[in-house]
Amino acid sequence: MCGLVGYIGNNAVEQTLLDGLKNLEYRGYDSAGIALNDNQNIDVFKAKGKLNNLTEVLSNRPKPAKNSMLGIGHIRWATHGKATTENAHPHLSNDGKLVLVHNGIIENYQQLRHELEAAGFVFHSQTDTETAVHAIDREYKKSQSLEQAVTAGIKLLEGAFAFCIMHKDEPDKIIAVRKNAPLIIGLGENENYIASDIPAIIGKVKNIIHLNDCELAIVEKNKVTVKSLDGQILNKEIEAIGFNPEVISKNGYKHFMLKEINEQPVIIRRMAQAHLPESGLPVCWGSKGCMLDLNRIKNISIIACGTSLHAAMYAKTLWEDWLQIPVHVEAASEYIYRANITNANSLVIGISQSGETADTITAVKQAKEKGAQILILTNREDSSIVRYADCTVPLNAGIEVSVAATKSYTAQLAALYWVGLYFAEQNKSLSASLLASLKQDLLELPAKMEEILSNQQAVQSLADKLKNFKDMVYIGRGINLTCAMEGALKLKEISYINANGYAAGELKHGPIALLDEQMPVMAVLGPGVTFAKMISNCEEAKARNAFVAAVLSEKAAVKESFFDAELRVPETNETTFPLLANIQLQLLAYYVADALGREVDQPRNLAKSVTVE
Ligand code: M6R
């Protein structure tokens, strides 16, 4: 959610921090700040709003007398305290010597603040973070050692945190420490970096160290020492960064979202080739193999949030049919606060693009404690959620910069498709011929996706017709219901048009009251048993004077001019249709939002990874 970066080295510290923050912008934020240490003073600069505002604050100040040697920076997504300059990070100690930036939430901040205020510390913000500065500063006053102060101070904090901390009197180091929030150290020559996510340091260093929970790194210009909180020096693995700088460039597209939508055929082709070498051959899990005990699985729960939850709903429909095993799907934020029936016979699947969604991580952790086997589907194999996995299915969709998930969603659907086929093959729940034809359907998808993307006129002209409506209804049935829900989510999150997805059969039980000429309906009409019923539901909507548009297969037979607008997709099977229809709905949301002049890649109030519960 928030993003942080730290730098110590010979490069221009201010610009290095701003570059890092710029590459974290995609995470969504409402204020930004940096602290610079020039070996004599710590100077803090903050601004509400976009990073440009901070850049302006910095360029309007008098030229500094000395170059900075080290610094820390932050972009904030407000949780505790409004998005104001005072609440923006970095936060300073009362003597102006200790400064820190923080990602996460300090849950016991109220009690701590009370205690610290009683001890004479003066607070200048409404944030939970400021309690950490004063708590660590109180320890510093005792030990006069930043390392010892941080070690003692953070033991008082409950919740999730990743910190970068500097002290004026120890200008040779930045301390980084984490618990339940991601943090990496970037290793350079005569310089080192700290970051909450790889894009902040992409192109700057080749190697990184991933910090684990309750590990503390003392980051100096020529040295990085990682310790446990009891002071043991740890021998950390040095890993190569698996991404090149191109992944965070728009490559000529107007927005990252459009670039990412267009990347989908390549991603699905790569995935299909890796797991379904040929329709007649068994599904190949991947080099690490499937580490699950499939004989133990009596029920499956899939836990996720937002778009990933829609992918989970797709899997439920698919898998209950293919596997004949009960599949339960639940929003992670609901799963964690009730007595669910997860046990050692459960396979719990966590789906998370970022792998950092706090609700999903907590849910998976709880399920693991109950003895369930854990399978994780994520686009970030280096993310926090993977720690709980018995087995991980990487999506390999590349870094997704746009806040609205597109390519990662399609990759989730495709991954759930081949994993479902793998399970079906193992428990022999489908005939060999059906398995082969289902595999073939997936193998043919990339070319069909390319066909959709090569002709975007119909969707652009529909976007033009829909852009001035205030509300919209999406309907679907069966395996296409999630497609309708995801289409509605995409439209609302980037265009701010109120859109909701409904089971088409449920329309007549309430939502139909909304329909009139001001409430357009987008129907998702896949092939299969629900097609005729969907047509009847569209008739019902037309009878209420609603503008009715549809996404449907190329050859789907409907009366001429039955729909007010049509988005056609190449012919495919019922189970793969959502992967094609979904692309049309992503494009529709994109073109509506762009026509309205919205900030497509960074919609208001949203963050790319939601690291708070
Ligand atoms: O990283 P995750 O898949 O766990 O994220 C879950 C949701 O926060 C995410 O899908 C969100 O709904 C996106 N804004 C959808 O576009």
Ligand 1 center–CA 139 separation, angstroms: 38
State which ligand 1 atom lies nearest to the alpha carbon of 404.
16
1 pLDDT above the threshold of 70? no
Q: Is the CB of 611 under 6 A from ligand 1?
A: no
Q: Token pair of 80, please?
A: 């505790």
pLDDT digits (tens, 9 = 90+) for 319-344: 999 999 999 999 999 998 888 889 99
Q: For residue 500, what are the β-bridge partners?
A: 473
Instruction: Indicate if ligand 1 lies below 6 Å from the C-beta of 610.
Output: yes
Q: Is 305 in the pocket of ligand 1 (CB under 6 A)?
A: yes
- Expressed in angstroms and rounded, the spacing between residue 439 Cα and the centre of ligand 1 is 28
Distances 500 to 292, 481, 599 between C-alpha atoms, Å: 37, 11, 21
- Whether the pTM exceeds 0.75: the reply is yes
Give me the percent of the chain exceeding a pLDDT of 90.
Answer: 80
Q: Strand, helix or coil at 209?
A: strand
488 vs 486: CA distance, rounded Å: 5
Q: What is the mean pLDDT of the chain?
A: 93
Kindly report the protein residue whose alpha carbon is nearest to atom 14 of ligand 1.
404
Q: How confident is the model over 466-522, as pLDDT tens digits? A: 999 999 999 999 999 999 999 999 999 999 999 999 999 999 899 899 999 999 999
Atom of ligand 1 at shortest range from CA of 306? 12
261, 308, 351, 352: which to mutate for ligand 1, most atoms within 8 A of CB?
Answer: 308
pLDDT band at 181; cut points 50, 70, 90: confident
Environment class of 63 (CB within 10 Å of its CB; exposed 0-12, middle 13-18, buried 19+): exposed
Given this model, what pLDDT does residue 28 score? 64
Give 119 Cα–ligand 1 centroid separation in angstroms: 42
Cα of 408 vs centre of ligand 1, distance in Å, is: 10
- DSSP state at residue 591: H
Which tens digits make up the pLDDT trace of 512-552?
999 999 999 999 999 999 999 999 999 999 999 999 999 99
Contacts of 597 (CB under 8 A, 6+ apart): none
Instruction: Check pocket membership of 404 for ligand 1, CB cut-off 6 A.
Output: yes
- The tens digit of pLDDT for each residue in 257-268 reads 999 999 999 999
Residue with the two structure tokens 């939850």:
309
Strand 346-352's sheet: what is its strand order? 327-331, 299-304, 346-352, 373-378, 391-394
Residue 244 — pLDDT band, cuts 50, 70, 90?
A: confident
Distance 528 CA to ligand 1 centre (A): 29
Per-residue pLDDT tens over the stretch 204-235: 999 999 999 999 999 999 999 999 999 999 99
Split at pLDDT 50, 70, 90, the class of 384 is confident
Distance CA 227, CA 209 (A): 13
Read off the pLDDT band of 29 (50, 70, 90).
confident
Task: Say which residues have a Cβ less than 8 Å from residue 433's Cβ, sequence separation at least 6.
Answer: none
Residue among 26, 353, 409, 489 whose CB has most ligand 1 atoms within 8 A, to mutate: 353
**Residues annotated as catalytic (active site), given as ranges:** 2, 608
Quick: pLDDT tens for 43-96. Answer: 999 999 889 999 999 998 888 777 888 999 999 887 777 888 899 999 999 999
* Residues 6+ away with beta carbon under 8 Å from 55: 18
